[in-house]
Amino acid sequence: MHLVTTRIRNIVKANTTYGVRRVARLLWHELQLQRRHFASRRRARALSALGALKLHLGCGSSFKPGWVNVDLFENCDLQLDLREDFPFPDDSVTMIYNEHFFEHLEYPSEAKKFLGECRRVLIPGGVLSLVVPDAEWPLISYANGNDEYFRIERERGLNPVWTETRMHIVNYLFRQYGEHKYAYDFETLKCVLANAGFISIMRREFDPELDSKKMEYVGSIYVLARKPNRQI
């Protein structure tokens, strides 16, 4: 079986370009995501009937008790593609939290749609809590020749071994193998949230009862925003 698989793989490689193979892999990947999304969309409707919800979006393997934990790649409460419409009614969610997920959305299309859906499903006065990597600090550190950010990143030991230089570390922050789609400082994130119709936008401190301990470092922006009490 292994020999047959290898032979087929070699034939495909000999008769297609890298670009075609890459697109084919991407299509197969998206088809799998679609299957999971549609299956969880039906389950989400059942959860909505239970009353007001708290959504933990892009949860990864960090599940919060009492929340609806959502991630496409983990065996959590719901596997939803958050680039799509949320399968929740208007004004049905009291709070939405996501940590180091928003930067994985393309800006402006995917990010604006995501925030629009967050605003739609939140109850009037409902809270959106976002945590994203802080792009300001590494850029200032790089421009000023200050090695503090890069020293901390090396000590954390979470970057790939090939990030030996400061520019490698900056590139990894902004790209992360193509998974990071956009970078934010607080000024930009506040502007994006305001344009999406959120109010009372402010930075907050790390909250050990809400945020992941592994993200407790100065390279994150913690932001709260609120849906208006009435439509504006």
Q: Could you tell me where the beta strands, DSSP code E, fall in the chain?
A: 53-57, 68-70, 93-99, 122-133, 199-203, 220-226
Kindly report the backbone phi and psi dihedral angles of residue 59, in degrees, each rounded to the nearest multiple of 5, phi listed first. Answer: -75, -20
CA distances from 141 to 2, 138, 186 (A): 50, 5, 16
Model confidence, pTM: 0.90
Q: Are 127 and 223 in contact (CB under 8 A)?
A: no
Residue 4 predicted with pLDDT over 80: no
Residue 214 predicted with pLDDT over 80: no
- Which of 23-27, 40-44, 79-83, 154-158 is most confident? 79-83
Average pLDDT in the chain: 90
* HSE-up of residue 118 (Cα within 13 Å, Cβ side): 32
78-122 tens-digit pLDDT: 999 999 999 999 999 999 999 999 999 999 999 999 999 999 999
Which token pair is 72? 């496409």
Q: How far apart are CA 103 and CA 32, in angstroms?
A: 22
Give the domains, in start order, of the chain with CATH numbers.
2-134+184-226 (3.40.50)
R_g of the chain, CA atoms, integer Å: 20
Identify the bridge partners of residue 97 per DSSP, sorted by sequence position: 56, 129
